[in-house]
Structure 1
Amino acid sequence: MSSHGLRIAFFGASLVSAWWNGAAMYYRGLLRALHARGHQITFYEPALPERQRRRDLPVAPDWATVVVYSVEGTGGLERCLEEARDADVVVKASNVGFRDDWLDARVLELKSGRTQVVYWDLDAPVTLERMAGNPEDAFRALVPRYDRVFTQGGGDPVVLAYRDLGARECVPIYSAVDPDVHQPVLAEQRLDCDLALLEDRLPDLERRVESFFLRAADLLPDKRFLLGGEGWGDRPRPSNVRYVGCVPPRDCNALRCSARSVLDISRDGMARFGFSPAPRLFEAAGAGACLITDAWEGIELFLEPGRECLVAQDGLEVAEAVLCLTDDGVRELGQAARRRVLAEHTYAHRALQVERALGLG
């Protein structure tokens, strides 16, 4: 393996489309930072029609080569695998959305003395709970065969669980902020509100959105709440909750800078395991937003409760935070969060971690 620029072949959901693809900003931040350090990235993604129609990167970025393969049969994917054979590092991410189980096994055939193969789990708590509940799960037998497992979060509980399954090495590479993308901008009147939530509707998130966000809106009928994300159109909600639908990445900074405060909510499994901050937590902090987050173990490793964010146990505490925030408090929390993530939690920091884990430096 070259000790300078690595050739990295990355099989993921989509680099060019954030539509129903919560990993898009994580992929982009990390791979852009790795490219800046001299590595050559080829990203292989399936030609899923709806996703490709809704690209928010209309042209491929200059920091990665994007190869979109056909989802008619496996011929296109076979050609990508053959091309990836020359890479120094082959990454298979979870939740690609096309032939995942098949691809989990096939990438292992690319292992050689000069090519290491990594499984990158973007949903480690969910994956581990699935395997714990099914001793016959096909992925169990594959775990020990990967050179290493990277996870988007989960901390020591996830590392220990993967090691128990025979993983040679498990390294959390947390979400972060790309300061060139997520930054303070001018507020926009159309997005003005007391509390904003930006999340796509997912089965393992909906109950928590109900408990933390919609409950807070019920308790504060005089406050204005704004909900952005895919899939909430037919969801009953209090009359003071305005639904704005999909918020394209280019508008996310404006939403976070226009809201008086921004709520971040973890998915069920992530909250149970802890140590799993979502990309949106860091993106909001990077924009200087005043953050309220649901309670999960490990938050203080990323932001200091009470100084850089507010932590709520339920919708009542979210409502109390919204009521008690002063103008000075909003500004100070947002500025402190931004300082912290720029100092410790950028994708440039994460790229260094990836290099160390891959045996460089």
Structure 2
Amino acid sequence: MHIVLFYHSILSDWNHGNAHFLRGIVRELEERGHRVQVYEPEKGWSLQNLVEGSSKDKLDELQEYYPGISTSFYTLESIDLDAVLRDADLVLVHEWNEHELVKRIGEHRANGGKYKLLFHDTHHRAVTERESMAKYDLTHYDGVLAFGQKIRDLYLQEGWAQKAWTWHEAADISVFYPHEKKEYEGDLVWIGNWGDEERTAELHEFLINPVKELGLKAKIYGVRYPEHARKALAEAGIEYGGWLPNYKAPEEFAKYKVTVHVPRRPYVEALPGIPTIRPFEAMACGIPLISSPWNDAENLFTPGEDFLVARSGDEMKQQLQSILNNPAKAKGVAAHGLETIRSRHTCAHRVNELEKVCGELGIAESKIYLTPKEKILHEE
């Protein structure tokens, strides 16, 4: 297939966690022989922050982890959709795009476009910013890929789309895999952005306070940490590492004994079943994971075996001690989570699912699958 993808950015993951998954999908599609083109807006906010805030050329470094990764920049004023979409078989438009672009691509599809057109939603805004999401004109789209059942159902219930499929994020195991543990630099590492005060209380209860009260050696990476957050980290004795390119996360996980997952409040309260990308990647790297509460409504994992669950700050302290003081248990939890990722939740699994959606949309099997043999391998 010739696949055209409209992303906010594939080059930058600065406060743009979706880039992790999207990069993996592009790599997997290309490895299967599909021709993939990515378009992202010129001067997008994530890339601008990366370029302005980095002390070295991270774009060159990115090529070391994703050889050949590339994108085409556009502006709404100059993009020529006739030229961009001329030979496309499948077009995916991610939800971090301007309303105008989403609408114009839909109109292009209606005016004779021969491709299948899907909208891809990987955020909680369908619930928390419903008015803004409702303004996306998906009239001429063939359907929606939603990263959770709750989001999928909402598109259908609200009449925003006629068809929708659940398409969870997953780990890109070409980058996220266990690295050799030579010598630990500390007890706990956490990689995540502060962002929008959506989990401030939770970060204190499940991360900062337990580290402080147990006297652990810990390090935190991320962006958008306000002054009060950095002060709280310092008072807890936690080192703040600033922004970390996501492809560096596996190397950091290998230096610590445990990590935690603290989902943002909208996912806990309104979007059960959506874990976001971070736990997929942590488990793929073979580090024991402890999570604050979230409802695994879609049975993606086995809580208690793939990762431990802490329902309160006190339980988090107990779970941390159980991992740090029991190497055999730590090894067992890490191994179970790693096996679950590799057997069910990789970018290869998600491309398998995407290919099935393409078949439902009527794209010829000869374009979806290169050979009958490869089709069988992809379905296994």
- Secondary structure of the residue aligned to 1:92 is strand
RMSD across aligned C-alpha pairs, in angstroms?
Answer: 2.4
Could you tell me how far apart the structure 1 residues matched to 2:258 and 2:276 are?
A: 17
Q: CA deviation at 1:259?
A: 1.5
Are the counterparts in 1 of residues 144 and 152 from structure 2 also a CA contact under 8 Å? no
- Secondary structure of the residue aligned to 2:189 is strand
Q: Aligned runs of 1:57-206 on 2, under 5 Å?
A: 57-58=59-60, 65-70=70-75, 74-76=76-78, 78-79=79-80, 82-96=83-97, 100-111=98-109, 112=112, 114-123=114-123, 125-131=124-130, 134=131, 137=132, 139-140=134-135, 142-151=137-146, 153-155=147-149, 157-166=150-159, 167-187=161-181, 192-203=185-196, 204-206=198-200
Could you tell me how far apart the structure 2 residues matched to 1:289 and 1:31 are?
A: 26
Partner of 2:237: 240
Q: CA deviation at 1:57?
A: 4.2
Is 1:27 aligned to 2:22, yes or no?
Answer: yes
Q: CA deviation at 1:12?
A: 0.7
Could you tell me how far apart the structure 2 residues matched to 1:138 and 1:333 are?
A: 38
- Secondary structure of the residue aligned to 2:11 is coil
Are the counterparts in 1 of residues 195 and 225 from structure 2 also a CA contact under 8 Å? no
Deviations 1:12-53 (A, max 9, x none): 111111222111111011121122222211110122233456
Distance 1:239 1:205, change over 3 A: closer
Partner of 2:327: 327
Are the counterparts in 2 of residues 186 and 258 from structure 1 also a CA contact under 8 Å? no
Distance 1:92 1:105, change over 3 A: same
Q: Percent identity?
A: 21
Partner of 1:315: 313
Q: CA deviation at 1:63?
A: 6.3
Distance 1:209 1:30, change over 3 A: same
Is 1:223 aligned to 2:216, yes or no?
Answer: yes
Partner of 1:46: 41
- Secondary structure of the residue aligned to 1:38 is coil
- Secondary structure of the residue aligned to 2:241 is strand
- Secondary structure of the residue aligned to 1:178 is coil
> How many residues are paired up?
340
- Secondary structure of the residue aligned to 2:177 is coil
Amino acid paired to 2:254: C
Could you tell me how far apart the structure 2 residues matched to 1:62 and 1:228 are?
A: 25
Amino acid paired to 2:19: A
Task: Give the TM-score normalised by the residue count of structure 2.
Answer: 0.82
Deviations 1:203-238 (A, max 9, x none): 124443233212322432x22222111132632223
Partner of 1:303: 301
Could you tell me how far apart the structure 2 residues matched to 1:224 and 1:81 are?
A: 56
Distance 1:13 1:7, change over 3 A: same
Partner of 1:13: 8
Partner of 1:210: 204
Partner of 1:3: none
Partner of 1:342: 342
Could you tell me how far apart the structure 1 residues matched to 2:263 and 2:82 are?
A: 34
Distance 1:317 1:300, change over 3 A: farther
- Secondary structure of the residue aligned to 1:194 is strand
Amino acid paired to 1:195: L
Distance 1:39 1:101, change over 3 A: same
Could you tell me how far apart the structure 2 residues matched to 1:214 and 1:233 are?
A: 15
Partner of 1:257: 254
- Secondary structure of the residue aligned to 1:142 is coil
Could you tell me how far apart the structure 2 residues matched to 1:353 and 1:159 are?
A: 15
Task: Give the TM-score normalised by the residue count of structure 1.
Answer: 0.86
Deviations 1:227-252 (A, max 9, x none): 11113263222332111111223421
